A and B are shown apart, each in its own frame.
Chain A
Amino acid sequence: PEDTFRAQLRDDPDVASAVAAIRALLGFLKQDRGETIQGLRSSLLAAIDTLSRVDSSVAVSSGGELFLRFISLTSLEYSDYSKCKEIMIERGEIFLRKVSLSRNKIAKLCHPFIRDGARILTHAYSRVVLRVLEAAVESKKRFSVYVTESQPDQAGQKMAKALRKLNIPVTVILDAAVGYIMEKVDLVLVGAEGVVESGGIINKIGTNQIAVCAKAQNKPFYVVAESFKFVRLFPLNQQDVPDKFKYKADTLKTSQNLTEEHPWIDYTSPSLITLLFTDLGVLTPSAVSDELIKLYL
């Protein structure tokens, strides 16, 4: 399964890593030769473990957990294993088809919030934000974008390149310049790698800073995320976010002392977020936990 996963990520750079993970797991499910639900569950857990050793991001974890939940829900309805497996595969395909449309749904919901002449601040590289801005351009709005450079991997430069291709005026700014630029900005729009139960988000390091600055200057802070990124975590502070999300998989394997490594993600609390745009609709942060409860309980 890790080979299929890696192959998927390589072939289609536009796909979210959670979707690639779910696709790989679905392929694994099709090949599985077990006869019981329990056997299936344990082999899937092992598969998810291997996947997270390749890419230990929040997205893979949420995708994996969603898939497990999907298996449990389906197995509750049908007791006959082979029939159950058929239904699972069929529903899995439908699910994948639905989530491929989710980015477009989000773009349709979000682009009315971008006014003509708006100045938007965004952080690092997010495919969902890119799609939203594309939709805004298609509806003939004129706006300009500031992107943070987003060290250490300079993801912001990648975002700026993609935006320039859409003919949007872009300025790349230093991560440290967020406080300076905030007074010029009209709204902040970021993606998310994971949305936690409290309604907060886990995203590339630097997002929390931007959220705090935006709150201090009364600028709206919007988050765009697909619903499969909802994860069953409730961090109360930065320390509560598990180490396996903060650092890359290879770092976790090789490093001696994790406190000397730089984390890749941070947690932004829900009090700093104005609205979340998901394919389930426009949600206030308090509505997120409701959605998660509906699924998991």
Chain B
Amino acid sequence: MPGAADRGSELSEQIEAFVARLRGGGERPRSEDTARQTLSLLRKIIAHGRWSRAGELMDLIRTEGQRMTAAQPSETTVGNMVRRVLKVIREEYGRLHGRSEESDQQESLHKLLTSGGLSEDFSTPYPPLRANVIEAINELLIELEGTTDNIAMQALEHIHSNEVIMTIGYSRTVEAFLKEAARKRKFQVIVAECAPFCQGHEMAVRLSKENIETTVMSDAAIFAVMSRVNKVIIGTKTILANGALIAVSGTHTLALAAKHHSTPLIVCAPMFKLSPQFPNEEDSFHKFVSPQEVLPFTEGEILAKINVHCPVFDYVPPELITLFISNIGGNAPSYIYRLMSELYHPDDYEL
């Protein structure tokens, strides 16, 4: 069928373009946009792809997912969305297969003792599966739209009048959070500029437009100022399975200073940033960009004698974090494992 072939090649073109955009770098893409684009792409693959059984579909999604994550490993939202879709497929298949809603697909001691057979085989074809899965993905997309608003709605419970809040860099989630609180409360914000890209400046400009009293300071002054701060609110790039963070470079310093002064550290992040990976050597979350920002190329004489690095991300261990505020509410870092089991299936942790 020429129609299907055309659609097929157009689809692979789109996937190629997406992968190239991920790999290309350039300016920092918004995580929510990446998540939305991944979901739309996956929906197209499901709608137009050639598959008849759930097992084939899952393999197809998995291969495309591996290709996309390999392009830019530090963009974990791509992998997270792929895993969400795989879980959706499993659920829809289970529902059609007539399994009871006990939904205990996880391994547990209970299951070890009571189950009779081995794991599920996704080979029975069901015609309504395609429509059901696409419906579920549309729901996911709607959920994605609302995440920032859901997080911002919780702002009033956490920010009180006359407080001094500290943040670092530029996070759109934190910006929305603070703006929402500013509508009813009066407070001050200190923004650490987050060298070398100095995104803190942009954050400060946006906040001051909403008439929030903002101060910008250098990263080196974080510890000095911390004693006057009531709360630290930050965004993050990724949340790891043990409750740790991958956030912009400089966040670990901020977290350590906050711990030292016993200042609560609140992380505002939507659930699609939760990744089921643990921090280990295989992880390539370390992303280095051109050291031009750290030491410009004009300093040629020195450059020949030294090594210059410009890492983009930092690892923050879970002990330093007080609370995660996400679109499903506030949670402690020790509870992250539970949220993970609700979002993803253990067989999908390794794509």
- What class of interface size applies to chain A in its complex with B? 20 to 34
Q: Is B197 an interface residue (CB 8 A)?
A: no
Near B by CB (< 8 A), chain A positions 56-93 give 66, 69-70, 73-74, 77, 90-91
The contact string, 1 if C-beta is below 8 Å from chain A, for chain B 274-291, is 000010111000000000
Q: Is B307 an interface residue (CB 8 A)?
A: no
B346 touches A281 (CB 8 A): yes
A115-B242 contact given A73-B114, A284-B337, CB 8 Å threshold: no
Q: Which residues of B contact A74 (CB under 8 A)?
A: 114
Q: Is A112 an interface residue (CB 8 A)?
A: yes
Q: Is B113 an interface residue (CB 8 A)?
A: yes
Q: Which residues of B contact A140 (CB under 8 A)?
A: none
The chain B residue with its CB closest to the CB of A92 is B113
Q: Which residues of B contact A94 (CB under 8 A)?
A: 115-116
Q: Is A241 an interface residue (CB 8 A)?
A: no
How many angstroms from the CA of A292 to the CA of B110 in the assembled complex? 9
A115 touches B281 (CB 8 A): yes
Q: Is A275 an interface residue (CB 8 A)?
A: yes
Near A by CB (< 8 A), chain B positions 152-195 give none
Expressed in whole angstroms, the minimum distance between the Cβ of B49 and any Cβ of chain A is: 31
A227-B109 contact given A112-B282, A284-B334, CB 8 Å threshold: yes
B278 touches A282 (CB 8 A): yes
Expressed in whole angstroms, the minimum distance between the Cβ of A104 and any Cβ of chain B is: 14
A286 touches B281 (CB 8 A): no
B107 touches A295 (CB 8 A): no
How many angstroms from the CA of A233 to the CA of B284 in the assembled complex? 39
How many angstroms from the CA of A90 to the CA of B278 in the assembled complex? 37
A294 touches B281 (CB 8 A): no
Expressed in whole angstroms, the minimum distance between the Cβ of B333 and any Cβ of chain A is: 9
B335's partner among A113, A230, A286 (CB-CB below 8 A) is: A286
Q: Is B338 an interface residue (CB 8 A)?
A: yes
Interface pairs A-B: 6 shortest CB-CB: A295-B109, A286-B334, A115-B281, A287-B337, A70-B113, A295-B110
A-B contacts besides A90-B116, A91-B116, A286-B334, 8 pairs, CB < 8 Å = A73-B114, A74-B114, A227-B112, A228-B109, A230-B109, A279-B107, A290-B338, A291-B108
